[in-house]
Structure 1
Amino acid sequence: MAILSLPPTLELQINLTDEQFFQLCQNNRDLRFERTANGELIIMPPTGGETSDRNADLTYQLRGWNRQSNLGKSFDSSGGFKLPNGADRSPDASWIKIERWAALTVEEREKFLPLCPDFVVELRSPSDSLEKLQAKMQEYIDNGARLGWLIDPKRKVVEIYRPNQKVEVRPSPTTLSGEDVLPGFVLDLSPIL
């Protein structure tokens, strides 16, 4: 057995088919992989305890709301999406409308979903580049996301992304509304921010 030591974030240019990329992810479940629209492979190691705890709370709140509303499907950070621009991304939390889920075949549901989520959240960890996360959030919006939140505990701010609107920056909010994308959802930020 060989042990591979990686820096906190590693980006490689590698030519993989969609199936090869999916198998790479399946064969290395201890790591999170993403792939940019240009084919750059991004390898992200597991997060630290603080970030993992925050992300678990975020996912728990989204899942709880979704169970009550039954309006769609929610996903945690291990869910992969093949965006229209060709990038493979896995937001920290995401959600799609039930109609979009129902339109997917069984085969499509078993692999990276071939769509951009309606709602995405990225939770900045200490090793994340703010500029790269901001670019990723804009990529989600450009590929069809209707609402996105970049939660940055380090700066104690949330950046809200919406199509055809300037990014809204909220310092130290206590809650966030799911607006018309997630009707009735209110995220309690006290355990996250």
Structure 2
Amino acid sequence: MIALNLQPAVNLTDEVFEQLCRQNPELRLERTAQGELIAMAPAGSESGFRNADLLGQLWQWNRRKNLGLVFDSSAGFALPNGAIRSPDAAWVAKERWQQLTPEQRRRFAPLCPDFVLELKSPTDELATLQAKLQEYLDNGSQLGWLIDPESGKVYVYRTGQPVQVLERPTSLSGDPVLPGFVVDLTLIWE
């Protein structure tokens, strides 16, 4: 990950950032609340496999329950603090999504997902991801999971509660934010 402070030379407005993303589709870009541009390396194959498994489980649950929308890591969200972030997986309640205009839905949706998931890859720094999860909570997420396959730890972020650290859990419950969703983590630890 590389963080670039382009100010005052370049003001990364929403429009400029969106244009930059369109012109560089091979890059995973985010913008911090302070206006820094963050470029992230593509995930390794093992991380991609693990993320696909987690995303697939979330998608299947949502398909059955039809309570909201599931997003992959290519979706960006314009958070209330001005950052534009792309979690590895995210979920937004249907009622909140339906409040957005068609134009807002086509761009970086101006909301923070109700649920976010970040899967630490070997190139990620744990402290950076922990700060990102806290940023999601500070901007309206109700539930966040940070999964670190290398250490075997899962950090669970819930509104109004201290961060819970779990050692190699075989499953996680998303209740009450994701009613009835239980993710199987056995493939993560293999």
- State the TM-score bracket (shorter-chain normalisation): over 0.9
Over residues 143-173 of structure 1, what are the superposed CA-to-partner deviations in whole Å (9 max), with x where a residue is unaligned? 0000000000010010000111110000000
Q: Which amino acid aligns with 2:103?
A: E
Q: In structure 2, what is the Cα distance between the partners aligned to 1:55 and 1:161? A: 19
Q: Say yes or no: does 1:69 pair with 2:61.
A: no
Q: Which amino acid aligns with 1:163?
A: T
Give the corresponding residue for 1:191. 187
Q: Which runs of 5+ in 1 are unaligned?
A: 1-8
Identity %: 61
Query: SS of 1:165's equivalent?
Result: coil
Query: SS of 2:124's equivalent?
Result: coil
Over residues 101-128 of structure 1, what are the superposed CA-to-partner deviations in whole Å (9 max), with x where a residue is unaligned? 1111110010111000000000000010
Over residues 41-77 of structure 1, what are the superposed CA-to-partner deviations in whole Å (9 max), with x where a residue is unaligned? 1001211100011111111111110000000000000
Q: Is the 8 A contact 1:122 1:133 kept in 2?
A: yes
Instruction: Find the partner of 2:15 among 12, 19, 38.
Output: 19
Q: Which runs of 5+ in 2 are unaligned?
A: none
Query: SS of 1:99's equivalent?
Result: helix
Instruction: Find the partner of 1:102 among 98, 102, 123.
Output: 98
Q: Is the 8 A contact 1:71 1:98 kept in 2?
A: yes
The equivalences for 1:54-133 within 5 A come to 54-133=50-129
Give the corresponding residue for 2:138. 142
Q: Which amino acid aligns with 2:43?
A: T
Q: Say yes or no: does 1:10 pair with 2:6.
A: no
Query: SS of 2:155's equivalent?
Result: strand
CA positional deviation for 1:192: 2.0
Q: Say yes or no: does 1:154 pair with 2:150.
A: yes
CA positional deviation for 1:191: 1.4
Instruction: Find the partner of 1:33 among 9, 29, 32.
Output: 29
Moved over 2 A (4+): none
Number of equivalences: 185
Q: Which amino acid aligns with 2:67?
A: L
Query: SS of 1:57's equivalent?
Result: helix
Q: Which amino acid aligns with 1:152?
A: D
Q: In structure 1, what is the Cα distance between the partners aligned to 2:103 and 2:41? A: 28
Aligned-CA RMSD value: 0.7
Q: In structure 2, what is the Cα distance between the partners aligned to 1:23 and 1:61? A: 32
Instruction: Find the partner of 2:44 among 41, 48, 68.
Output: 48
Q: Is the 8 A contact 1:30 1:45 kept in 2?
A: no
Q: In structure 2, what is the Cα distance between the partners aligned to 1:16 and 1:83? A: 15
Q: In structure 2, what is the Cα distance between the partners aligned to 1:190 and 1:103? A: 37
TM-score normalised by L of structure 1:
0.94
Instruction: Find the partner of 1:166 among 162, 165, 172.
Output: 162
Q: Which amino acid aligns with 2:2?
A: L
Q: In structure 2, what is the Cα distance between the partners aligned to 1:124 and 1:73? A: 23
